[in-house]
């Protein structure tokens, strides 16, 4: 708008005509045509030669990149405020980011960021979780250290991060797949619950929603699973018994007609493994809460010398490295040459690895790229700036398959 006003006032044309001139500034030929018109038109309006020349320099600079002060301030203020909040109140800041989900980065990466600052991540809990992410205080001395997916070849360098130990972020009910806003509302209204039976009778949640809540550990706290023989398989069986029971609820009032709900007993079945629990977290929350997925491959990654994302900057440019991670994004945007280029972003628990697959690497590995979740990638380091590094990929494997072959001493796959 400022450019339009300048052109209009100095030449006497309408705002609509001035906007057409502004548009013409965008290319070299149009800029020259505007220059040949603007300078005589402004001089004819009585402006001094030096003033016209100075104003034209401003307009010409706008053609390269124009950013008005008000627009800049609108970006600068929330940027400064966000940086201050992250530095001084990291747990509260990240809880807000997770709740409002700005969309640029997946939540799994934001959780990684929180863990690196010492924030404890607490699971969904039927009595403690709400519709938004919340901050809780925890014992600083016993707070969980950040999850370490694997050791890697550490350089000993580390960024200075805010120390948020003593604070925790409680996962939100709203992130559960398939749950409705109404279910979240009725669950919160009914808190606290005594147990699964009480929840089933009063919460107004559907059977599939309750089943998913069990699988992600939302009932672990109310049933004190860590200190009893009851496990999540028992809770799933108990849910089935409740569903078949004549006990039902209507509008939050339990109608048992003389029946008592079936008792929760230990079935003797083994609990879900850590891997199964993480799998359910990923399936139903879209992210890991209890463990990073790479933790289960730590021995393998350490044995083959995989490099952590936080240590890539210390690697020599052009050197060959192995990296691993969970797929965050896979993109293949159009490029001027017409050749397909694939960009793969991986989360390894320490940050994000960015790997580029050009046509020579796509021939043998395209199928893996488009049909895998966990990756092992080989490539050459490419420095993109003082704090920037990327990987020109030369190979890619499905991590689980590579791990299984390594377990059978068939490690030549990644050489």
**Domain chopping of the chain, boundaries:** 2-64, 104-255, 296-414
pLDDT at position 70, please?
78
pLDDT at position 410, please?
55
Cα–Cα distance, 47 to 53 (Å, whole number)? 10
pLDDT at position 159, please?
56
pLDDT at position 49, please?
93
**Residues 114, 94: contact at Cβ < 8 Å?**
yes
pLDDT at position 407, please?
85
Tell how far CA 147 is from the center of its chain: 16
What DSSP string runs through 129-185? Answer: --SS-EEEE--TTTPPPPP-S------S--------TTEEEEPPGGGSTT--HHHHH
Strands 167-170 and 253-255: unpaired
pLDDT at position 141, please?
64
**Residues 300, 146: contact at Cβ < 8 Å?**
no
pLDDT at position 363, please?
82
pLDDT at position 104, please?
72
Tell how far CA 44 is from the center of its chain: 58
Domain 296-414 has CATH 2.40.50.140: yes
pLDDT at position 155, please?
47
Show the low-confidence residues of the chain (pLDDT under 70): 63-68, 102, 141-159, 247-259, 410-415
What three-state secondary structure class fits 100?
A: helix
Angle between helices 90-100 and 69-88 (to 10 degrees): 120
What DSSP string runs through 202-256? Answer: HS---HHHHHHHHHTTTTTTTTTGGGSS--HHHHHHHHHHHHHSS-EEETTEEE-
Strands 167-170 and 134-137: antiparallel
């Amino acid at each position: 708008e400022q450019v339009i006003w300048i052109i209009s006032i100095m030449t006497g044309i309408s705002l609509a005509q001035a906007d057409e001139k502004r548009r013409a500034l965008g290319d070299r030929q149009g800029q020259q045509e505007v220059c040949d018109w603007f300078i005589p038109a402004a001089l004819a309006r009585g402006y001094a030669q030096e003033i016209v020349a100075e104003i034209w320099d401003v307009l010409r600079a706008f053609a390269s990149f124009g950013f008005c002060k008000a627009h800049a301030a609108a970006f600068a203020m929330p940027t400064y405020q966000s940086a201050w909040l992250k530095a001084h109140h990291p747990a509260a800041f990240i809880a807000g980011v997770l709740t409002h989900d700005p969309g640029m980065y997946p939540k799994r990466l934001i959780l990684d960021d929180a863990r690196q600052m010492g924030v404890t991540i607490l699971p969904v809990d039927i009595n403690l979780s709400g519709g938004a992410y919340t901050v809780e205080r925890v014992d600083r001395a016993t707070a969980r250290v950040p999850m370490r997916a694997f050791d890697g070849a550490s350089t000993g360098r580390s960024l200075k991060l805010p120390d948020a130990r003593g604070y925790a972020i409680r996962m939100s009910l709203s992130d559960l797949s398939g749950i409705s806003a109404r279910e979240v509302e009725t669950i919160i209204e009914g808190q606290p619950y005594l147990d699964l039976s009480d929840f089933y009778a009063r919460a107004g949640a559907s059977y599939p929603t309750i089943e998913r809540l069990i699988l992600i550990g939302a009932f672990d706290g109310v049933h004190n699973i860590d200190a009893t023989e009851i496990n999540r398989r028992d809770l799933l069986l108990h849910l089935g018994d409740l569903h078949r029971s004549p006990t039902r609820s209507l509008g939050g009032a339990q109608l048992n007609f003389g029946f008592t709900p079936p008792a929760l007993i230990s079935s003797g079945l083994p609990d879900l493994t850590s891997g199964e629990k993480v799998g359910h977290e990923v399936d139903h929350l879209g992210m890991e809460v209890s463990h990073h997925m790479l933790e289960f491959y730590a021995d393998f990654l350490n044995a083959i010398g995989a490099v952590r994302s936080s240590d890539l900057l210390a690697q020599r440019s052009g050197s060959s490295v192995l990296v691993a991670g969970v797929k965050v994004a896979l993109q293949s945007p159009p490029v001027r040459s017409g050749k397909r280029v694939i960009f793969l972003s991986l989360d390894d628990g320490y940050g994000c690895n960015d790997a580029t697959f050009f046509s020579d690497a796509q021939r043998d590995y395209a199928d893996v790229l488009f049909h895998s979740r966990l990756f092992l990638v080989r490539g050459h380091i490419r420095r993109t700036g003082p704090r920037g590094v990327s990987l020109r990929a030369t190979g890619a494997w499905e991590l689980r398959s590579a791990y299984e072959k390594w377990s059978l001493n068939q490690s030549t796959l990644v050489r």
